[in-house]
Chain A
């Protein structure tokens, strides 16, 4: 029996069908063989994974359900003349496979995977600088021109945001020793059109800032809003403020005594109280539905120590 098979002599639909039956690891190998194989792998439309650059670890791609791809792990790969080693595991219990491709360094692999997985965004995560494999300068060089999905940081936020001012999701934290971010700086950022913002400890969130944000999904772990201000926020939302907001989660983790007075929060607002089974199980308050004139529903509920607001068209 012949040991070769002329794959590309098949009609394109049949060749693509063969690719659809290959394992991810084989598809990745094939994608590096030529431009044609790369485009064919791209056309197979593999599940789109998150692609993350982590300043501590290198680059990781989570494969569904239990595998991953890692590269750029050993330092100093950024300026290395040796091609970056790819480590692929399809199952966490299996031994990983390793391979290299001449001319493929960390940046080349990043672009390659963004292409074949049809993932236009790369997430960037910065931890505590002293443990980082990559300096901020190296990270900027590596990610230059790529579109950032989730940008998360645990210190030095202002410098990192200056370098990466456009992102899909912003997750800002800081170390205990760092001062809060400059209010003017972070407000400028928050007033941009970032779809999703998670403010952990970088800056307190006040009512005025919240009302000016054009964000779809907001999480704050350091909100300053009182019950009365929450009431003002809801009344203004009913009048058209924060039109794009879909989810607001205010957590008050440091305030163990924080309770919510629904009579203050919902004062003067027509609402309907509903005890939904799922929410009873989650040990939250009932849901209070409020309604805008255009029919958009708002759900308000509380659980210690959080205030939740969600909208439904």
Chain B
């Protein structure tokens, strides 16, 4: 029988058993809720492990409160889940150890990351926290691209790189904030060393 002569059969789509898609509900730290597919969740190692450990059924998802993600706001989480949904089912890249990394930013990702640097910072922070390997790759690539063609002075400005002195001052301030007594002891130790003492104790 030729293809042209084959009988046309209407297919009742409702009769075909369709595997029910599983969704999870997440809540940002500013109480915005998101429904994310199970396949999209797999892009995040952290969330994937979390939902596996919780062992939620479809009913649990509806009846129990949304899973709270305490340290990410709604605006950032929206971008994260948009990215995960777009890339769901894709293989998670394995780091081959090569440097510099060769990463192309796909068009969708480029549009998604057409945001101010403050939000980009939060997106990278979230990708790192949620362990979304490829999102971390492309977002870091975007930050790396900011260095192209820059002079040493421009690089310092673009990345707000602290000098050694600024790093040292920040370290001292952090130590003092943590334990003022420790700083006093350190100063006393330095003073004794200057005076030629062999031992502090």
Contact = CB atoms under 8 A, between A and B. Distances in A.
B140 A14 contact: yes
Given A34-B167, A35-B164, A5 B152 contact: no
Interface string B115-150: 011101100110111000000110011011111101
Given A4-B117, A10-B128, A20 B99 contact: yes
B162 A8 contact: yes
A7 B159 contact: yes
A52 to B, nearest CB: 22
A11 interface: yes
Contacts of B156: 33
Given A18-B143, A21-B140, A5 B160 contact: yes
Interface in A1-18: 1-11, 13-14, 17-18
A29 B128 contact: no
Interface stretch (A39-47, A128-136, A231-239, A270-278): A39-47
Q: Which of B97, B136, B147, B157 has the most CB of A within 10 A?
A: B147
A36 interface: yes
B99 A44 contact: yes
Interface in B157-183: 157-164, 167
B147 A17 contact: no
B112 interface: no
Nearest to A30: B155
Interface residues of A, number: 37
B100 A5 contact: no
A22 B144 contact: yes
Nearest to A45: B99
Nearest to B159: A7
A10 B117 CA distance: 12
A32 interface: yes
Interface residues of B, number: 39
A181 interface: no
B124 A10 contact: yes
A24 interface: yes
Q: Which of A10, A21, A23, A33 has the most CB of B within 10 A?
A: A21
Nearest to B160: A6
Contacts of B129: 11
Nearest to B161: A33
Given A1-B116, A2-B118, A21-B141, A37 B161 contact: yes
Q: Which of A20, A32, A46 has the most CB of B within 10 A?
A: A20
B101 interface: yes
Q: Which of A13, A29, A35 has the most CB of B within 10 A?
A: A29
B44 to A, nearest CB: 15
Contacts of A10: 121, 124-125, 128
A5 B117 contact: yes
Interface of B: 97, 99-101, 103, 116-118, 120-121, 124-125, 127-129, 136-137, 140-141, 143-148, 150-152, 155-164, 167
By Cβ-Cβ distance, the 10 closest A-B pairs, closest first, are A21-B144, A7-B159, A17-B140, A2-B117, A14-B128, A26-B147, A18-B140, A21-B141, A18-B143, A22-B144
Given A14-B124, A19-B144, A30-B155, 14 more contacts: A1-B116, A4-B157, A5-B117, A5-B121, A8-B160, A11-B125, A11-B129, A20-B101, A21-B101, A21-B143, A22-B100, A33-B155, A34-B164, A36-B167
30 contacts: A2-B116, A3-B117, A4-B159, A5-B120, A5-B121, A5-B146, A5-B160, A7-B143, A8-B160, A8-B161, A9-B121, A10-B121, A10-B124, A14-B127, A14-B136, A17-B128, A17-B136, A19-B144, A21-B101, A21-B145, A23-B147, A24-B100, A29-B155, A32-B152, A34-B161, A34-B164, A34-B167, A36-B162, A36-B164, A36-B167
